[in-house]
Amino acid sequence: MALLEGRKISKSFGGVQALSQVDFAVDPGTIVALIGPNGAGKTTLFNAVAGAFKPSSGRVVFDGRDITGQPADTVCRLGMARTFQVTRPFAAMTCLENIMVAAINRYPQKPRSFIEGFAREKLSLVGLADMERLEARHLNVVQKKRLEMARALGTDPKLLMLDEVLGGLNTQEIHQAVEFIRNLRDKLKLTVLWIEHVMGAVMQAAERVIVLDQGKVLMVGTPHEVVNDPRVIQAYLGE
Amino acid sequence: MLAISVMNGLVIGVIYALAALGVSLVVGIMNVVNFAHGELYILAGYFSYLFASALGMNFIAAMLIALALVFLLGIVIEVTLIRPTYGNDMYSLILTFILSIVLQNAYLLIFGPYPNKPPLWVKGAADVFGLFLYGNQRLAALIAGVAVIAVVFFIIKKTWFGRIIRATSQDREMAELNGVDTTRLNMLSFGLGCALAAAAGVILTPVFPVTPTAGVPVALTAFVVVVLGGMGSMWGCVVGGLLLGLVENLGAAFISTGYKNVFGFIILILVLLIRPSGLFGRAKV
Amino acid sequence: MTGKKALLISMLILAGMCVLPLGLGIYPQHVLIVSLFYVMMASSWNLLAGYTGQVSFGHAAMAGIGAYASGILAAKAGINPWIGICLGTVLAALIGLGLGALCLKMGGIYLSLTTLAFSQILHIIIVNEYDLTRGTMGLQVPSLMAEYDKLVYYYIMLAAAVLILSILYRMIHSNLGLNFRAVQNDELAAKSLGVRVLQVRVLAFTVASAMAGFAGGLYGHYLLLVTPEIPSLDLQFYVLAMTVIGGMGSFIGPIIGAFALNILAEKIRDYGEYHVLVFGLIALVVARFAPNGLLGLWKKFKPIKPIQAVKQKAFPTP
């Protein structure tokens, strides 16, 4: 059974149809990429799934539960964590505190020593161990993206939702990042739903690819199928 | 009694609507509530008193100069205090609250605690539909208030500037992408919001004299009207303003004079309980 | 600063505060007692504005609720002032809970508007219910002790301030404090990490309201006369200015601000009633140019340890 399933999700803002009848499924333990040209509705779909807003119609089923329209905090406590396309760190809090916020709401009964250890572990996972006492506003963009990933991991999620974490990286770094996320999935037994604008990078990491275009699912397939599909090429060229 | 209360409610309701339009405009565009709104209303009253009564100017000229000065002051406030706090709503709340206290105390120092009053525009009273005699000044205030509201509606609904304002309050990012200079728009709309407070001030102060703290209840009522009508809705301001003016005056006449301003608060609580987005408000996304 | 060092310093300050009034006359003692009232008010307001990012203009009104509740119970029904203060605290908390639940779901601006309206309404009620409150004349209330003694009042207020501050300190350094700050920093991000944002905000508002009610109750029984001056916008402004000037979002900022402004106000009063205007102008400049207050300014000029950009891979291998 799929860990996350969207059934005929639609969302309109005012008169603009941002998503129409989107069906998709994410199987447990897989890395699924959600790609599409700018304005295809990728982040809108993320928001509708993660509870930032309610879809106009359709259902979201996560881990066997209908979570349609549930607020973001409830969804998070059920095991879904996300990052933001434009990072939103707690700027005036230290890196460690940023992750502790996630951890205390996941494990409210645990003592402070456990929380700190747990948070530190996530911080070193993304390579920010030596910055734990630095306020997050001092980080650069790439570091902020990593902090957000660590923070999402701090909620000990079943499903990790990444929104364009490769921005600002060079080719070699992108390669490392892909490696990193694959390893992460294996080590923490995660499922990953990953939005990326750049097609190439995700192709190395993902097992399945969902292509969105103009608010609709254009196709679903393996990376190989997707890159060779004329409709996908058309959608990207038409940009 | 009933007829007079309704009439009083209409006069004050129009002024509430005017003051609320100023608040609503600024909330719609900038998501900022100016807590010094009432003090700018009072300032316009002091200005028109100063120019007309003390300097002996023509009252219309005095009122126009008062409007212009408060508009300019609004722009100065926007540039010096509000602009640096964009994206941090909390600081604009704190700053404008401090500003309101500073202005109140400055008025106290300059004008003293006693009420001041600009000259009446017209004298005498008129017979209203054969029902009762009503002061000409109040009738004039009603007409002037309606006229200003009509002008504001025309500007917002029919002109190019109004179209920019409506577009920006609906979707700021989109407006920016389409080349709207939102920084300048913020400045102008904040100034315009203050000028609307000033318009309410110059119209109403010949009837209700100004004191250093007389702006507080007016501003509060304007805030209640904005919540009641729905944040950012223009029709909400008009309907809400008239409604509040009527409720207050009927309540004062038939229930209790002392609790006149409490009725507005009760309405605020009811709105928050039943329909928090207000009568004409869009539900929050 | 490590926990132990901080504890030692605060113990020393507390010991100093205990001996401070001994050599002083009645008037300086009075100023200190009032300062302690403001310490409680500013520190609890700071829990709202400084730690959860919500601006209440009804904090003075909550103090008024505490003062009038306890004062009326004691003066009209002969209830022991200590019980009255407890009841006043509970009443302020309940009103805070009600107002918070009502308007916080709509966002921060609504709280500011509603609390401002609430303080205005409270004023109107107090003035109109003359039989109960003695209007602007003020209600005479009994003393906390059989024989009125300023020094005893000082120690009571000091104990109360220490109680409030230690509750605040524990709260800020607990899980709750982390959630408070997360909500203040970025509400949306906090929500996405499982923080129950509305609950956290209402809780902070309820606790802060209760503290203001408690401080107000004590203050009323110290002044022996409860007037509409307590739930006034002027007092509200005072509390705000002390917090803003001292340093919003820092623990010591409001404490320093409360003492400094209250003592300064006494000095300015010698020249006339200009202190509100002066504080207003100072607060305006500080809020505009040093949003973290004088304490924040001091921290800014204290050199921070430069963090070296450590050479590392963009993403390490887990």
Instruction: Quote the percentage of chain A above a pLDDT of 90.
Output: 31
Q: Which residues of C touch B102 (CB under 8 A)?
A: 277, 280-281, 284
The answer on pLDDT for C23 being more than 60 is yes
Confidence of residue B78 (pLDDT cuts 50, 70, 90): very high
Query: How many domains is chain B built from?
Result: 1
Flag whether pLDDT at C176 surpasses 60. yes
In this structure, is residue C93 part of a structural domain? Answer: yes
Instruction: Name which residue leads in pLDDT, A119 or A234.
Output: A119
Give the span between the Cα atoms of B140 and B282, in whole angstroms: 35
For residue C189, the Cα-to-chain-centroid distance in whole angstroms is 28
What pTM value is reported for the model?
Answer: 0.89
Task: Determine the structural domain holding residue B137 and report its residue range.
Answer: 2-214
Within a domain: C310: no
In a domain, B157, yes or no: yes
Please report residues of C whose CB lies closer than 8 A to that of A72: 188, 191-192
- The reply to whether C246 falls in a domain is no
pLDDT band at C235 (very low <50, low <70, confident <90, very high): very high
Specify the number of domains making up chain C.
1
Helix-helix angle C253-269:C26-46, to 10 degrees? 140
Whether CATH 3.40.50.300 fits A1-79+158-171+190-239: yes
Q: CA C202 to CA C205: how far, in whole Å?
A: 5
Q: Is residue B70 part of a domain?
A: yes
- Tell me the residues of chain B between 142 and 181 that have a Cβ less than 8 Å away from chain A: 170
Segment C193-222 shows an average pLDDT of 95
Residue B99 lies inside a defined structural domain of this protein: yes
Contact A32, A210 (CB under 8 A): yes
Strands A159-163 and A191-196, by their bridges, are: parallel
Question: How far is C271 from C24, CA to CA, in rounded Å?
Answer: 23
Placement of tokens 């923490």 in the chain: A188
Residues in chain C, total: 318
Q: Give partners of C (≥3 CB pairs < 8 A).
A: A, B
Please check whether residue C299 lies inside any domain of the structure. no
pLDDT at res. C310: 45
Encode pLDDT of B36-74 as tens digits: 999 999 999 999 888 888 787 788 888 899 999 999 999
Residue B51 lies in a domain: yes
- Alpha carbons within 13 angstroms on the beta-carbon side of residue A69 total 8
- Half-sphere exposure at residue A117, Cβ-oriented, CA atoms within 13 angstroms: 6
The Cα–Cα gap between B278 and B166 comes to 19
A144–C contact, CB cutoff 8 A: no
Looking at residues B249-277, what average pLDDT do you find? 82
The pLDDT confidence band at residue C2, using thresholds 50, 70 and 90, is low
Structural domain boundaries, residue C222: 25-232
CA-wise closest residue to C33 among C164, C150, C149, C168: C150
Q: How far apart are the first and last CA of chain C?
A: 33
Q: Is residue B246 part of a domain?
A: no
How many Å apart are CA B228 and CA B16, to the nearest integer?
12
Neighbours of chain B (3+ CB pairs under 8 A): A, C
Contacts of A176 in chain C (CB under 8 A): 313-315
Domain ranges within chain A, ordered by starting residue: 1-79+158-171+190-239, 92-156
Could you tell me if residue B92 is left (phi over 0), alpha (psi between -120 and 50 degrees) or otherwise beta? Answer: alpha
Could you tell me if residue C91 is inside a domain?
Answer: yes
Distance separating alpha carbons of residues B119 and B121, to the nearest angstrom: 6
Q: Which residues pair with A60 in a beta bridge?
A: A6
Residue B285 resides in a domain = no
State which of A40-49, B120-129, B193-202 shows the largest mean pLDDT: B193-202
Query: Model confidence at C128, in pLDDT bands (50, 70, 90)?
Result: confident
Most confident of A219-233, B80-94, C57-71, C289-303: C57-71
Residue B284 lies in a domain: no
**Is B184 a member of any domain?**
yes
Q: What is the DSSP string of chain B?
A: -HHHHHHHHHHHHHHHHHHHHHHHHHHHHH----TTHHHHHHHHHHHHIIIIIIS---HHHHHHHHHHHHHHHHHHHIIIIIGGGTT-HHHHHHHHHHHHHHHHHHHHHHH-SS-B-PPPSS-SEEEETTTEEEEHHHHHHHHHHHHHHHHHHHHHHHSHHHHHHHHHHH-HHHHHHTT--HHHHHHHHHHHHHHHHHHHHHHHTTTS-B-TTTHHHHHHHHHHHHHHH-TT-HHHHHHHHHHHHHHHHHHHHHT-STTTTHHHHHHHHHHHHH-TT-SSPPPP-
pLDDT at C1: 53
User: Scanning every residue of chain A, which has its alpha carbon at the shortest distance from the alpha carbon of C315?
Assistant: A177
Beta-carbon separation of C182 and A101 below 8 A: yes
Chain B residues within 8 angstroms (CB to CB) of chain C: 27, 31, 33, 35, 80-81, 84, 89-91, 93-95, 97-99, 101-102, 105-106, 109, 216-217, 220, 223-224, 227, 256, 258-259, 261-262, 264-265, 268-269, 272-273, 276-277, 284
Chain A neighbors of C314, CB-CB under 8 A? 142, 169, 173, 176-177
